Structures are given as C-alpha cells and as structure tokens.
Structure 1
Amino acid sequence: MPASPLLGLRALLFNVLFYLWTAVTCLVVLPAFPLLSPAGMRRVARFWERGILVLLKVVVGLDYEVRGREHLPREPVIIASKHQSAWETLVFHVLVPELAVGLKEELTRIPVFGWYLMRAQNIRIDRGAAAKAIRSLVEGAKAATANGLSVLIFPEGTRRAPDDPPDYKPGVAALYAALKLPVVPVALNSGLFWRRRGFLKYPGRVVVEFLEPIPPGLDRKIFMQILEERIETATARLVAEGRRSGT
C-alpha cells in the first residue's frame, strides 16, 4: 500500500496518544500499586491493551480478528507465536488473559512500567550468554505455569518481515522439554500493517490464528519441524489473504 501524508499524520497521532495513554494509566495505577495482586496487575494490563486496540481502530483504521480459539485449552500451555510486528507485543493479554510473557531484561528496568511488568508475573530473560538466557526463561516459565499461567514465547526471538525466511531459536524447544506442556502455535499477518521498525501503521485487519496444539513428549527435532511447518504454512496463508484484501 503506497504511503500518503494522511497515513503519516494518523501514525503520528497514534504515537502521541499511545504514549499519553500509557503515561496516564501508569500514573493512575501507581497509588494502588503496593496493594495490587499479580492477577490485578494483569487486569490493568488488559485494560491498557484494550485502550491501545481502540486507538488503533479509531485513529489508524486497524482492527483485528481472532481465529482458532477452540485450540486454547483451559490449562496452562506454551503459546509459540509468529513475531512480525510490535502489534502482537501489545495485545496478547487481551487474547489470553492469564499469561506470562518472556521479556527482555532491559524492559523490566524502566521506572514504574518495569515494576508493573514484573508484578504481573512476566518472565525476565537475561539476554547475555545463550545458555543463561535459556535458563532464565525456563526457570521463569516453571514458576509462571505453577501459578496457573500460560507462557508466551516468540520462537524466532525477534520481529521478522512477512517475506523473511524463518529463523527458529532453541529457546522454545528448551521450554517444551522442561515444562512438558502442549504448545499452541500462533500464526498472524500483523507485519503487513505495522512493519518491523516502521513508523507508519496501515488500515486493515490483522488476523491472529491459534493452531492445533502440539502434544508434549515428542523428540526435539520432530517438535521443531512440526512447530515451524504449522506456523509458517498458516502465516503464509494469512499474509496472502491480507494482500488479496488490498494491503
């Protein structure tokens, strides 16, 4: 979709309102912070994320659709999502309310906002040596699932554009082996609308699809093959669908 001055103005307005909404939410909640339980903090997170979704719909014209909710069991699972955009980092507590997210350690150091992230029982990942990062992820995930939370991981570790080749990292396999829980793959096409490191946000409809769970206990190599095949096949279908719709 070609850029236009109106797209730039909408993106600028969204950014201003996003930071204003975030600042107001943080300040309003701050006096109650010492009394907030982790579950209460997750309710705040969902409230904040719903506000962001409203801003995206009203200011940018970007809505979303969720498919495959029947693949989400009531019990804790590992949710392994494709990662194309900042969009999915801002909405997953709305999609899966009782959720712990693996976070870069530097995010948890942000004053006030970082306190909120950790009070919600998210997982701080030490991004030093690879072994240390995986160990911190697994330890945090074990604590989260013991408290009844599902765990969100982006298997490629960072955002990748819709046409980039896949690059799955070993962290998801380590979680799968350690937690012995089903893995629910997630496909999406958010990168068509909010591009990696992109300022512009395009109107349209992001589609998020929860796919058939992968049962625990598979061989590591087989698990990784199934995970990548399911996510990449469904993501390619959703990206093609988004492009046919005029994105």
Structure 2
Amino acid sequence: MRKLLQPLLSLTYVVQVYVAMAVLGVSFTPWALVSKRGALVACKLYARYAIWTARWMLGLKVEVRGPVPQGEVLVAAKHQSFFDILIIFSALPHAKFIMKRELMWTPFIGLYAKRLGCIPVNRGKRGGAIAKMVKDVAAEFAEPGQLVIYPQGTRVAPGEHKPYKVGPAVLYEGTGYSCVPVATNVGLFWPRKGIMRYPGLGVVEFLDPIAPGVERHAFMARLEQDIEARSDALMAEAEGRGHGVR
C-alpha cells in the first residue's frame, strides 16, 4: 500500500518542505539581518525539520556516521541531492558552503547563505574564480566554521561519474587545514531530478581526515578514492536491504 502511495507522499513532502522554507525564511529575516546567529538558528531549524518530516512522511531515515568535524576544517563531500546538504548542515556546528554564485539571487537562500558566510563562486571564470575563492575564504575564516566544498562541483547521480575538480586541493593548500572527506548514499532515496522520494536509510559518513601537507596530486587521488569507495559501499549496503532506486 505504501508503495502505491509513495508518489502522493513525495509530492506532499516536497510542497510542505518548500512552504516551510518560505515561512521560516520570512519569520527569521529580521533576526538574521541583525545577527548571524539568527541566520544559523533558522537554517538549523529548517534542516532538522526537513529531516524529521522525511522520516515520518516518507519513511526516509537518516544516519550520520564517523566523527563530526569541529573547529576550522575543510570538508570535501560527495553530492548526490539537496538532502545531503541538509544532513551535513544539520550535523556540523557551523557549516559554510562553496556555492554557485547564481544561488545568491535565490529568495531566502541567498540572504541566509550570505549571513552564514557561504562563498559564492563564478564557475564560468575558472582560474579567476579559484583565485577569488581563496581570497574570499581567507577573509571569511576570520570567524570559525567548517568550509564545505563539493569536489565534483555539482550533484552526481548514483552510478554516474564526473571528474574531481582542483578546488579542494587549492583550498587545502591555501588554508593549511585538515580535509575531511564525506561519503553518502542519499541519491538512492532523494534523486537528483523529479519529485519522487523513497523510504530507506540515508547515510552521510565523515571519513578519516587528511592531515595538512600532502602533495597536491596525492591529495586529490586519496580524496577521490576515499569518497568514491566508501560511497559505493554505502550504496551497496542500502541496495542489499532492497532500499532506494538507482
């Protein structure tokens, strides 16, 4: 019966979670404008609400594995859907994302991203974008936080492959921080496109950190190997239970 109802449940979930974004966005705007804490509280509340409603509306549970990074650190995460953003943001004390510049013009998202200290990047300018990103990150890290970057630069559906970009290595070298790779299987339950959402156990796993000082090529090779191998293992684990869709 639940399988027959899943399209309706998915649509209902998607509608209500975007309504919640608008309601919280408007309600917290005065506080967010005068205090960065207001923006952080609003976004944490929204992420946890979306995760909570996914559990009881969709049967989509969430598990965070591995030690959650604290303090100033670079987090390089596998990105399969909007849901992994919410899980990572909910888990980290104060996440700041490297994000597409176009998103800064999105209602609510742009305002709150700016207040949180997220770093917009113009992906069309390549070398110039990387140089500006490093400069902006140096300025933003005057305040503590965890800087989250997606090494492939976009959402990648399970089973697809996109090359890893040099951005994480540039930030790793420029900041001198440890880098924590992050694996996930969330794309099996919350696909990159469409409104369908599926029951199961969505996992985000923080892996062993890469200490500062690793040479660039070795760093990128290890980063990709760690993230891809563990993400594949998490997806195989979910599929072994008969969960998700690929």
Give yes or no for TM over 0.5.
yes
Alpha-carbon distance between aligned partners in 2 of 1:177 and 1:65, rounded to the nearest angstrom = 31
The answer for the alignment partner of 2:208 in structure 1 is 212
Q: Does the aligned pair in 1 maintain the 2:178–2:212 contact within 8 Å?
A: yes
Alpha-carbon distance between aligned partners in 2 of 1:159 and 1:139, rounded to the nearest angstrom = 25
Q: Which amino acid aligns with 2:117?
A: Q
How much does 1:90 deviate? 2.4
The answer for the alignment partner of 2:54 in structure 1 is 56
Alpha-carbon distance between aligned partners in 2 of 1:40 and 1:80, rounded to the nearest angstrom = 26
Residues 231-246 of structure 1: pairs in structure 2 closer than 5 A: 231-246=227-242
Number of equivalences: 242
Residues 71-220 of structure 1: pairs in structure 2 closer than 5 A: 72=69, 74-220=70-216
Alpha-carbon distance between aligned partners in 1 of 2:32 and 2:40, rounded to the nearest angstrom = 12
What is the TM-score with the length of structure 1 in the denominator? 0.92
Q: Which amino acid aligns with 1:171?
A: G
Q: Which amino acid aligns with 1:77?
A: V
Alpha-carbon distance between aligned partners in 2 of 1:197 and 1:129, rounded to the nearest angstrom = 27
Aligned-pair identity in percent equals 36
The answer for the alignment partner of 2:12 in structure 1 is 13
From the superposition, tell whether residues 30 and 118 of structure 1 become closer, same or farther in structure 2 (CA, over 3 Å). same
> Where does structure 1 differ by over 3 angstroms across 4 or more consecutive aligned residues?
none
Alpha-carbon distance between aligned partners in 2 of 1:173 and 1:115, rounded to the nearest angstrom = 28
Alpha-carbon distance between aligned partners in 1 of 2:163 and 2:213, rounded to the nearest angstrom = 23
The answer for the alignment partner of 1:66 in structure 2 is 64
Alpha-carbon distance between aligned partners in 2 of 1:228 and 1:167, rounded to the nearest angstrom = 9
The answer for the alignment partner of 1:33 in structure 2 is 32
Alpha-carbon distance between aligned partners in 1 of 2:236 and 2:108, rounded to the nearest angstrom = 40
Q: Does the aligned pair in 1 maintain the 2:81–2:155 contact within 8 Å?
A: yes
Q: Does the aligned pair in 2 maintain the 1:42–1:93 contact within 8 Å?
A: no
SS in 2 for 1:181: coil
SS in 1 for 2:141: helix
Q: Quick one: which of 214, 223, 232 aligns to 1:227?
A: 223
Unaligned runs of 5+ residues in structure 2 are none
Unaligned runs of 5+ residues in structure 1 are none
